[in-house]
Amino acid sequence: MLALGKLLELTLAGREPAEKTQLTVDGVRMRWLTEGALEVRPPEVRDNGLDLLLSAGIHGNETAPIELLDRLLQAIARGEIKPRARILFLFGNPGAMRTGARFVEEDLNRLFNGRHETSSGPEALRACELEHLAETFFSPPERTRLHYDLHTAIRGSKIEQFALYPYKEGRAHSRNELARLRAAGMEAVLLQNKPSIVFSAYTYDKLGAEAFTLELGKARPFGQNGGVNVERLELRLQQIIEGTESPLAEASLDGLQLFSVAREVIKHSDAFILHLPADVENFCELPKGYLLAQDTGKTRWIIEEEGARIIFPNPKVKNGLRAGMIIEPARALALA
């Protein structure tokens, strides 16, 4: 196997490869760009016009997605997967990956769409670098752009595998992409309704990609991900890479639960209180009238929505950041 196929090993060791460019026996070009970043380019005669960005490790302790990308890349390096798409593999936060921590100084996935310009430290520098890598990768015109940012969650979830679909004013969500997510094993999709500062929101809003944050289960250390079943996603990614997918227009959305964001719960001060158990799961249902949270002054979040649920509850975030999202079943969908 080509040495560049061991990108994860190089990244965890903090090593730079001796050879920056290698070719497989089938003429697939692999090029190391910087720490945790590798471009894969098929021979021109096999290129089907898709640019696919696959990222994982934005949070360093979310190892199942990292291992998934490692398997795909090694299979390409061995010639077992024969790409027809250009691919950019990104391991987002190498420093945090090496220590098994969520981040080094601050949450990298809250520093995109220019947010890194108001911060400092290793994550701010990395967010800027990742934006530049994505922008350069997606710069060729008249190509299809797709980005999957793969994660696992801090806590358990009543719906284990789900996607977050970013928002841009005037741009409709794609039925075909929802069908692709369903085929990849996603049980639910959260359709966002405002701009965001996460990585997938940057590539969706600024670079015109179809982009998604995928949550695949609960975060566990390297080598302990037997309980995170990514078989359907792995198969679908291989099919996307090789250009062997069945037509998306024929795929069904049956069984795919769609939600929209009703409100965000923002932590304003150290007086913030979230009235949920520490081990509450994502997609936990909330009854009408429930006092979900309160903050300084008389700021209160009381559940008013029918069928409301909570995702990403985290009272330990910094002041000014989101401490949770109240979601509800999506209604009156407008899909492209």
Active site residues: 215
Backbone dihedral angles phi then psi of residue 176, each to the nearest 5 degrees: -60, -40
Backbone dihedral angles phi then psi of residue 42, each to the nearest 5 degrees: -75, 165
Contact (CB, 8 A) for 213 and 124:
no
Determine the length of the chain.
Answer: 336
286/292 Cα distance (integer angstroms): 8
At position 211, the amino acid (one-letter code) is A
14 φψ region: left (φ > 0), alpha (ψ -120 to 50), beta (else): left
49/254 Cα distance (integer angstroms): 29
At position 103, the amino acid (one-letter code) is F
263/190 Cα distance (integer angstroms): 13
151 is in an annotated binding site: yes
275 is in an annotated binding site: no
Q: Residues comprising the binding site?
A: 59, 62, 151
Q: Residues comprising the binding site for Zn(2+)?
A: 59, 62, 151
